[in-house]
């Protein structure tokens, strides 16, 4: 005989833990083994609840004089009886229950475009990403070398970075194996490669921005923000494969890690800025472009703006004099 | 190119030098006999001179009042019957900077210390005039006539606190490339002799011991500078010690105004490095050096041209001032691609960006301004960094650096650094320097 419906035991977030078929009505719910639905909840009475039709044919859940009672969907008010429909939720003890009839409507089926697999899971994608990263690192090493360098000298640093990337992905894979019983090594490698590309692009774009617009003081804040975003994406990506966390949890975890790191970095930066030092910050960057494109100011403007420098220094000196005996 | 060492004597340094002093002693013995003969030839023996004039020379101790222990030792000499004593500014600079913590004891031949007060200082020429209440038995007079090169001179002082010592040497004229006149004395001055007199056999003071470069190269403050300060302080009642720091600031200010304002005008000679035409030797008191780094294993060439003044002003043991230096470096390559070359070029632009000295009590942090600037001949990346003197308001250390932009395989990084300049002069010289960097494509 096909069941009439199901009593579902839900977890705190509404996910189904257990589904018990209802073959006939009325049914009894409680901690005792004689019940149709047996709940392993110490706050539930041995015989807590009965669910059955009334004279008009409505489905009613009735509290059987339990200690902790029956509560409705919002879980707050205690009621002696409750009319339930397919999909109604109600609470007994610390347990949340839902009744669904067999004809309970369902959401449409999702179309699976990946064949059940993330594209990152493909070893070909991982191999391509890793090869691309290695090429990028080598290219960068070549373009930043100023010696008459040999191939061996050029690949040494990329190889080191590359080895560290593999170790990093390996550690995450190990964590994944422990948490979700799968290594997901290629996925972690692709995520790490993505982060390297991100930092690379960020570094290059901040250098060029600083070259073109050296007077913009928010470049370092933008850099900090960018690094934070990349870090957040990195953590989000790794958590996706290493844990069973939902999207929202991953998002918050990634954001927290990134904000914490950005905070530490900003504090360190601020501390080093406010500490005394004899170092002059010749942070100018020069790039090989034709001068025509470069926005400039005149000599007069440069000299004129140095008054701001004087004002800052006078304030610093004034402060220093005030603190000295 | 070694920086001159002041002859100021510091306790902490003494231990380090004991072995060095022993070696020096041997060397002095080795060259002694011919000099003795020379001294005898001029009539008076060294013994006579020492006997006759040593009691006019005193030891000067700067004493830390809390512990009643000496913090530094130098030499001085009586220059008037009223008890005026001449010494170096750097011998008594601790008292000038923190008058509450130090006092000056003058110890004459009898060994009895008597307290002295500062009457006046000349920070530019490194001189100070003190006075004790004790009336001296006699005093030394200053030589107002020109002395001939080769004249035998006798210097008295307390080298490394070893007791009053006489050192022989010769007069070798005034330095030619010096911002401030200085007597070149060929003789061994040592730390502790600072402020002592160097005199002719007749006991007339030609100069005051001030600095040494080792190997018998020593420097004296000329007697006429001493006369100027003595005249200025002749009728001075004892000013409060606290007022001297402001006076030091005023003197440095006046001095920089005098020698910086004419620098890097249009008539400054130029030097050509590749496509660049750059300033060189803006005045006689600059010394310039050039070099080139061309090594087989390097895919680029670096040509440098470096000019600097030699004369720094001793402000305190933690701070020197008054140096002007500029440094051109041209990089060029036939092998590196533009991105590689600019990695090198950017690196050079950011390199070596630390001041030699300075602590939080003396100077503020550096603040910098970076901009892309269009000059008459092209575009530059320009950075101006400056810091202010905390104890001497209105004086700044500054460094101005530019790199030319636009060429793919050649670049110039040039830096001008100033110390102890007013901000007006920092701005003035920055402008003139920036406009003096010229190039053609």
Shared domain check, B234 and B276: no
Residue A284 falls inside a structural domain: no
Q: Of A72-86, A101-115, B75-89, give the range with the top mean pLDDT.
A: B75-89
Considering only CB atoms, B336 lies closest to which of A146, A277, A283, namely A146
Q: Is B358 on the interface with A (CB under 8 A)?
A: yes
- Which chain A residues touch B344 with a CB distance below 8 Å? 146
Instruction: Of B3, B57, B42, give the one whose Cα is nearest residue B153.
Output: B42
For A52-66, write each residue's pLDDT tens digit: 998 898 999 999 999
In chain B, residues with a C-beta closer than 8 Å to the C-beta of A310 are: 386, 423
Dihedral sign from CA coordinates of A85, A91, A92, A97: positive
Which chain A positions have a beta carbon within 8 Å of B403's beta carbon?
284, 286
My answer on whether B99 and B214 are in the same domain is yes
Residue B216 belongs to a domain with what CATH number?
2.40.10.120
Lowest-confidence range among A71-85, A110-124, B204-218?
A110-124
Q: What is the pLDDT of residue B385?
A: 92
Shared domain for A149 and A190, answered yes or no, is yes
Q: Do B416 and B328 share a structural domain?
A: yes
b/e code A162-187 from CB counts within 10 Å (16+ = b): beebbebbeebbebbeeeeeebbbbb
Query: Residue B286 belongs to what domain range?
Result: 253-439
Q: Average per-residue pLDDT in chain A? A: 88
* Residue ranges of chain B whose pLDDT lies below 50: 1-4, 7-41
Residue of higher predicted confidence among A31 and B361 = A31
ipTM: 0.82
Q: Same structural domain for residues A79 and A197?
A: no
Nearest to B323 by CA among B334, B314, B310: B310
Would B279 be classed as within a structural domain?
yes
What is the structure's pLDDT at B398? 93
Q: Which two tokens stand for residue A7?
A: 């009593």
Residue B209 lies in a domain: yes
Tokens representing B180? Answer: 């401030």
Contacts of A284 in chain B (CB under 8 A): 346, 349-350, 370, 381-383, 401, 403
**Alpha carbon B397 to chain centroid, angstroms:** 16
| pLDDT attached to residue A108 | 81
Same structural domain, A46 and A94: yes
Q: Are residues B177 and B60 in the same domain?
A: yes
In a domain, B349, yes or no: yes
Q: Note whether residue A291 is domain-resident.
A: no
Q: Does A139 share its domain with A180?
A: yes
Report how far apart the first and last C-alpha atoms of chain B are (Å, whole number): 35
pLDDT in tens, A179-193: 888 888 988 999 999
In a domain, B248, yes or no: no
In a domain, A171, yes or no: yes
Order of strands, sheet of A59-63, starting from the edge strand that comes earlier in the sequence: A37-38, A27-30, A49-53, A59-63, A81-83
Say if the Cβ atoms of A146 and B375 lie within 8 Å: no
Task: Tell me the mean pLDDT in the region A85-93.
Answer: 91
| Closest to B260 measured CA to CA, from B79, B429, B20 | B429
Is B377 an interface residue toward A (CB < 8 Å)?
A: no
Overall domain count for chain B: 2
The reply to whether B237 and B260 lie within a common domain is no
In this structure, the strands spanning B204-214 and B141-142 are: parallel
- Calpha distance B373→B370 (Å, rounded): 9
Q: Specify whether B349 is located in the same domain as B208.
A: no
- Using the Cβ of A282 and the Cβ atoms of chain B, whether some distance falls under 8 Å is answered with yes
* CA angle at B336 for the pair B333 and B342, rounded to the nearest 5°: 85
A201 and B CB contact within 8 Å? no
Q: Which of B78, B61, B234 is nearest to B156 (CA)?
A: B78
What pLDDT is recorded for position B128? 93
Mean pLDDT of A287-310: 89
Token representation of residue B7: 């002859």
Confidence bin at A48 (pLDDT 50/70/90): very high
Residue ending a domain, among B241, B266, B286, is: B241
**Last residue within a domain, chosen from A273, A289, A312:** A273
| Gyration radius of chain B over CA positions | 25
For residue A34, count CB atoms less than 10 angstroms from its CB and return exposed for 0-12, middle for 13-18, buried for 19 or more. exposed
Residues B133 and B260 in one domain: no
Number of domains in chain A: 2
List the CATH number of the domain containing B409: 3.40.1000
- Which phi and psi (to 5°) does residue A106 adopt? -115, 155
- Model-level pTM? 0.77
Which structural domain range is residue A54 located in? 5-101
Cβ pair B65, B101 in contact under 8 A: yes
Both A133 and A237 in one domain: the answer is yes
Structure tokens at B166: 């006489």
- The CATH number given to whatever domain includes residue A51 is 2.60.200.20
Instruction: Give me the mean pLDDT over the A85-94 stretch.
Output: 91
Query: What is the rounded CA–CA span in Å between residue A139 and residue B431?
Result: 40
Domain contains B26: yes
Q: Which of B217, B241, B265 is the last residue of a domain?
A: B241
């Amino acid at each position: 005989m096909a069941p009439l419906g199901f009593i579902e035991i839900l977890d705190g977030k509404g996910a189904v833990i257990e589904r018990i078929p209802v073959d006939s009505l009325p049914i009894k719910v409680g901690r005792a083994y004689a019940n149709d639905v047996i709940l392993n909840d110490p706050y539930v009475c041995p015989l807590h609840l009965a669910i059955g039709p009334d004279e008009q044919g409505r489905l009613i859940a009735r509290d059987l004089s339990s200690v902790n009672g029956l509560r409705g969907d919002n879980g707050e008010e205690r009621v002696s009886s409750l009319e339930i429909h397919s999909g109604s939720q109600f609470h007994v003890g610390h347990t949340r229950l839902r009744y669904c009839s067999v004809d309970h409507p369902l959401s449409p089926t999702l179309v699976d475009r990946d064949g059940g697999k993330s594209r990152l899971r493909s070893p070909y994608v991982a191999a391509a990403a890793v090869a691309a990263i290695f090429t990028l690192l080598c290219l960068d090493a070549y373009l930043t070398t100023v010696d008459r360098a040999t191939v061996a000298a050029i690949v040494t640093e990329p190889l080191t970075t590359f080895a560290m990337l593999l170790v990093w992905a390996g550690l995450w894979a190990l964590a994944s194996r422990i948490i979700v019983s799968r290594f997901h090594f290629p996925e972690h490698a692709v995520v790490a490669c993505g982060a390297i590309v991100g930092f690379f692009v960020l570094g290059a774009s901040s250098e060029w921005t600083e070259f073109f617009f050296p007077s913009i003081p928010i470049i370092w804040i933008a850099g900090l923000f960018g690094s934070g975003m990349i870090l957040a994406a990195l953590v989000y990506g790794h958590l996706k494969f290493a844990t069973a966390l939902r999207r929202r949890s991953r998002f918050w975890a990634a954001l927290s890690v990134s904000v914490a790191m950005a905070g530490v970095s900003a504090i360190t930066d601020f501390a080093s800025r406010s500490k005394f030092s004899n170092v002059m910050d010749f942070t100018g960057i020069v790039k090989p472009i034709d001068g025509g494109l470069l926005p400039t100011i005149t000599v007069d403007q440069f000299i004129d703006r140095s008054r701001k420098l004087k004002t800052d220094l006078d304030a610093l000196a004034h402060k220093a004099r005030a603190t000295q005996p | 190119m070694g920086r001159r060492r002041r002859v100021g004597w510091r306790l902490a340094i003494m231990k380090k030098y004991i072995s060095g002093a022993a070696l020096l002693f041997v060397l002095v013995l080795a060259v002694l006999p011919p000099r003795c003969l020379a001294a005898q030839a001029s009539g008076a023996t060294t013994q006579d001179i020492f006997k006759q004039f040593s009691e006019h020379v005193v030891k000067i101790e700067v004493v830390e009042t809390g512990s009643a222990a000496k913090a530094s030792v130098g030499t001085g000499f009586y220059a008037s019957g009223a008890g005026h004593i001449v010494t170096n500014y750097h011998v008594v600079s601790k008292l000038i900077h923190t008058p509450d913590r130090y006092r000056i004891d003058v110890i004459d031949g009898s060994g009895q210390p008597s307290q002295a007060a500062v009457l006046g200082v000349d920070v530019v020429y490194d001189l100070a005039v003190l006075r004790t209440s004790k009336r001296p038995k006699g005093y030394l007079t200053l030589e107002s006539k020109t002395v001939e090169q080769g004249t035998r001179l006798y210097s008295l002082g307390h080298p490394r606190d070893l007791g009053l010592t006489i050192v022989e040497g010769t007069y070798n004229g005034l330095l030619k490339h010096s911002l401030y006149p200085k007597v070149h004395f060929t003789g061994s001055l040592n730390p502790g002799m600072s402020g002592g007199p160097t005199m002719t056999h007749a006991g007339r003071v030609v100069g005051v011991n001030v600095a040494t470069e080792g190997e018998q190269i020593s420097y004296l403050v000329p007697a006429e500078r001493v006369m100027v300060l003595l005249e200025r302080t002749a009728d001075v009642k004892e000013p409060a010690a606290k007022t001297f720091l402001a006076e030091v600031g005023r003197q440095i200010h006046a001095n920089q105004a005098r020698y910086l304002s004419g620098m890097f005008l249009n008539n400054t000679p130029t030097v050509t490095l590749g496509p660049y035409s750059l300033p060189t030797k803006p005045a006689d008191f600059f010394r310039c050096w050039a070099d080139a780094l061309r090594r087989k294993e390097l895919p680029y060439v670096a040509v440098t041209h470096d000019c600097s003044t030699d004369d720094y002003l001793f402000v305190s043991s933690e701070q020197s001032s008054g140096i002007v230096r500029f440094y051109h470096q041209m990089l060029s390559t036939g092998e590196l691609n533009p991105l590689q070359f600019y990695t090198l070029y950017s690196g050079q632009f950011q390199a070596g960006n630390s001041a030699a000295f300075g602590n939080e009590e003396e100077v503020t942090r550096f603040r910098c301004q970076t901009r892309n600037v269009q000059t008459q001949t092209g575009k530059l990346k320009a950075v101006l960094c400056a810091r202010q003197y905390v104890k001497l308001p209105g004086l700044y250390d500054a460094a101005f650096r530019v790199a030319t932009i636009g060429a793919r395989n050649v670049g110039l990084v040039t830096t001008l650094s100033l110390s102890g300049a007013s901000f007006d002069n920092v701005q003035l010289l920055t402008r003139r320097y920036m406009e003096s960097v010229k190039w053609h494509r």
